[in-house]
Chains A and B, each alone.
Chain A
Amino acid sequence: MELQLEYFLILAAGLFCIGIYGLVTSRNAVRVLMSVELLLNAVNLNLIGFSSFIDPVEIKGQVFSVFVIIVAAAESAVGLAIVLAIYRNRNTVDMEQFNLLKW
């Protein structure tokens, strides 16, 4: 059994679906950010898989995944700062109670 591109794609799809489930169902705001990190990692796995199997000479997929890692780091820093600010204002991290902007 040789490693195929499809295995990695299915792996990334599974990780993406777990991330979506966590993103929708979790109540804790920090856990939502952790699910977003799972989603970004699934996308990165796809990019690296394509760059290794389809474009092994010019590995541009790896360059793209490095940019995704940079953006993910920035996103988690700003996201956690926002969570801290909301926690100071509302004294909770429950996603159901962040309804200041609800109509």
Chain B
Amino acid sequence: MDLAQGVQTVSFIILTIMMFSAALGVVLLRNIVYSAFLLGAVFVSISGLYLLLNAEFVAASQILVYVGAVNVLILFAIMLVNKREAFPATSRNILRSGATALVCIGLFTLLGTMAISTPWSMADQSGVVVEGSVIKIGKHFFSDFLLPFELASVMLLITMVGAIILARRDLIPEEEAADLRETDTYQLQERPRELISVGDNQSEE
């Protein structure tokens, strides 16, 4: 085993441990702010695994898109709905999570045995001279994947408009807006919509 292979193996093991512990922390920790930061750790270690797999462009875009955009967006959402609430207990909570864990372990066993037992048709990596993956991906994007590439940009535009429309507050004009203006306190000229609660409807009717 030469030096490069040893470095690869050691970094693979370190990244694996990092990724699994951070992912378990995302799912199991009580405080959701810690989960959001651990999600960033998961993304960074997955980007390291991409580097081990000779995918520099995807590793860079993983850092840019996931750590830079998605994780920050999740943190913003956590800050916007920041309400420490104790969720009301449901019945048979332990049974539910136990059954889910059992199903997940079974799925992992199934996928693991499938991955090991299938004879994958490996390409021989010996004589292959690979040009940079950035050049290769660029050629793919502008030749045989041109239509999905353009559609992706249209989809991002639609997503932006849709997210703004969904997250916008409904403007409800206040009747007492005139006398509010005379006080010193600044208030938004809008308020959230009246709460809809299912349980109260039946008592009103």
Q: Which residues of A contact B (CB under 8 A)?
A: 1-3, 5-11, 13-22, 24-28, 30-31, 33-35, 37-38, 41, 44-45, 48-49, 51-60, 62-63, 65-67, 69-74, 76-78, 80-85, 87-94, 96, 99-100
Give, as a whole number of angstroms, the nearest-CB distance from A93 to chain B: 5
Supply 6 further A-B pairs (C-beta < 8 A) apart from A20-B103, A67-B152, A72-B65. Answer: A3-B12, A37-B70, A70-B155, A88-B192, A94-B85, A96-B90
Give, as a whole number of angstroms, the nearest-CB distance from A38 to chain B: 6
B133 at the interface (CB under 8 A from A): yes
- Count the B residues whose beta carbon is within 8 Å of the partner chain — how many? 89
Which residue of B26, B116, B159 contacts A74 across the interface (Cβ within 8 Å)? B159
Chain B residues near A72 (CB, 8 Å)? 65-66, 70
**Contact present for A1 and B53 (CB under 8 Å):** no
Which residue of B12, B27, B133 contacts A18 across the interface (Cβ within 8 Å)? B27
Contact with A along B30-65 (1 / 0, CB 8 A): 001001100100110010011011110110011001
B3 at the interface (CB under 8 A from A): no
**Contact present for B128 and A77 (CB under 8 Å):** no
**Contact present for B70 and A73 (CB under 8 Å):** yes
Chain B residues near A14 (CB, 8 Å)? 20, 108
Chain B residues near A59 (CB, 8 Å)? 55, 133, 136-137, 140
Give, as a whole number of angstroms, the nearest-CB distance from A68 to chain B: 10
Which residue of B55, B100, B152 contacts A70 across the interface (Cβ within 8 Å)? B152
CA distance A1 to B162 in the complex (A): 49
Give, as a whole number of angstroms, the nearest-CB distance from A39 to chain B: 11
A21 in contact with B58 given A77-B163, A78-B163, A83-B81 (CB within 8 Å): no
**Contact present for A63 and B140 (CB under 8 Å):** yes
Give, as a whole number of angstroms, the nearest-CB distance from A62 to chain B: 5
CA distance A6 to B16 in the complex (A): 14
